[in-house]
Amino acid sequence: MITRSPADVQSVPLASSQERAPWQRQLAGIIRDPAELCRRLDLDPAWLPGAEAGHALFEVRVPEAYLSRIRPGDPTDPLLRQVLPLGEETLEVPGYLADPLQEAEHTPAKGLIHKYAGRVLLIASPSCAINCRYCFRRHFPYGENAPSRAQWEASLDTLRGDASIREAILSGGDPLAASDRQLAWLVERLDAIPHLKRLRIHSRLPVVIPERVDDALLGWLSATRLQKVLVLHINHANEIDEAVIAACARLKQAGVTLLNQSVLLRGVNDSVTALAALSERLFEAGILPYYLHVLDPVAGAAHFDVPDDQARELVAGLRQVLPGFLMPTLTREVPGEASKTPL
């Protein structure tokens, strides 16, 4: 008979917990080099100096599963435009700021933002699986907001002590970049707060790495008594391939309500045709359009801006071709306001 030493017994679960899930392996192998991005997509080398300059300000991050939806050799591809840094990012444009939403002022506990009634936003993971060039958090001090367990307890105490809070929103970065072990731990604690009714997650991961929707994720999602809402972030119909549709179907089976928010972006989705195709494709995947945000004036993203008048015209045009339930609400985030502001 073989007897195992206590050390052996301990090493078994440790080894298995360090094993990476397929989505984590994809995340580890993400494209982070502008030259590789240009080479893989057959882009003219003339794009490289601009890509390097933008990358120096906000690094390139593109998962393989997202890259595979981009047309090689086409610098106008609407998905490429979201991830390829351009020289324009280095321009200083009046009114475009490092922290356009002034979030630095609303963090009572580390990793917690309470600006709106009844809802509290928790920064569950400091990083993202993809770096979107227009991101309003491109200058956010993520590193300072990656909470430890002790900091989580402080955030949880804030939630426990305020019965007006009915909804916890996991945000980031991308909250689903955190491990399932961490997320299960957190959601278990949220679940135990009696006045909380809803768990909302804002994530782009199921879109950019659909394998993220695996058994481990569905396990803790299915286990909670909280009502679950997942707000995806998709800007163009081409982002929704068969793998995304399959991931959404599994989420719906687990009782998750699926919504989508987009950002209105010049050169990506600034036409009635593109926006209508997006809404139609979202519904095919079982997702309802929620918000269409105008760009937050973040430094380095001015070249994505669509003027307000044009945004309103686009939405009026969209109303001509879509049923009401496929219409997103056009909004802007105004610092200091108690809600998103409809345009």
- The residues of the shown chain that bind ligand PLP, judged by CB under 6 A, are 113, 115-116, 119, 121, 169, 339-340
Cis previous bond, 173, omega within 30:
yes
Taking CB under 6 A as the criterion, the residue among 83, 121, 128, 287 binding ligand SF4 is 128
C-beta of 312: minimal distance to ligand PLP in Å? 20
- What are the angstrom distances between the C-alpha of 179 and each of 76, 175, 220, 222? 35, 9, 11, 16
Per-residue x/- mask for ligand SF4, residues 164 to 183, rule CB under 6 A? --------xxx---------
Residue 137 touching ligand SF4 (CB under 6 A): yes
The closest alpha carbon to 55, from 29, 90, 28, belongs to: 90
CA 230/CA 285 separation, integer angstroms: 13
C-beta of 296: minimal distance to ligand SF4 in Å? 10
The closest alpha carbon to 207, from 183, 170, 238, belongs to: 238
Residue 296 touching ligand SF4 (CB under 6 A): no
**What letter represents residue 284's amino acid?**
E
Taking CB under 6 A as the criterion, the residue among 131, 145, 260, 261 binding ligand SF4 is 131
C-beta of 143: minimal distance to ligand PLP in Å? 20
Residue 292 touching ligand SF4 (CB under 6 A): no
Size of the site for ligand SF4 (CB under 6 A): 11
Which lies closer to ligand PLP via its Cβ, residue 87 or residue 335? 335
Which lies closer to ligand PLP via its Cβ, residue 121 or residue 208? 121
| Binds 128: which of ligand SF4, ligand PLP, none (CB < 5-8 Å by kind) | ligand SF4
CA 302/CA 82 separation, integer angstroms: 13
The closest alpha carbon to 216, from 181, 186, 192, belongs to: 181
C-beta of 64: minimal distance to ligand PLP in Å? 30
The closest alpha carbon to 176, from 165, 168, 167, 184, belongs to: 184
**What letter represents residue 308's amino acid?**
D
- What are the angstrom distances between the C-alpha of 270 and each of 235, 264, 279? 10, 6, 13
- Tell the burial category of 62 from Cβ atoms under 10 Å away from its Cβ (0-12, 13-18, 19+): buried
C-beta of 234: minimal distance to ligand SF4 in Å? 11
Residue 130 touching ligand SF4 (CB under 6 A): yes
Residue 135 touching ligand SF4 (CB under 6 A): yes
Q: Length of the chain in residues, anyone? A: 343
| Binds 174: which of ligand SF4, ligand PLP, none (CB < 5-8 Å by kind) | ligand SF4
Which lies closer to ligand SF4 via its Cβ, residue 136 or residue 322? 136
Which lies closer to ligand SF4 via its Cβ, residue 131 or residue 155? 131
Could you identify the residue written with the tokens 């768990």?
A: 199
Beta bridge partners of 330: 292
199 phi, psi to nearest 5 deg: -115, 120
Map the footprint of ligand SF4 across residues 210-239, applying CB under 6 A: 233
3-state secondary structure of 302: helix
C-beta of 117: minimal distance to ligand PLP in Å? 9
C-beta of 289: minimal distance to ligand SF4 in Å? 17
Which spans of this chain sit near ligand SF4 (rule: CB under 6 A)? 128, 130-132, 135, 137, 172-174, 204, 233
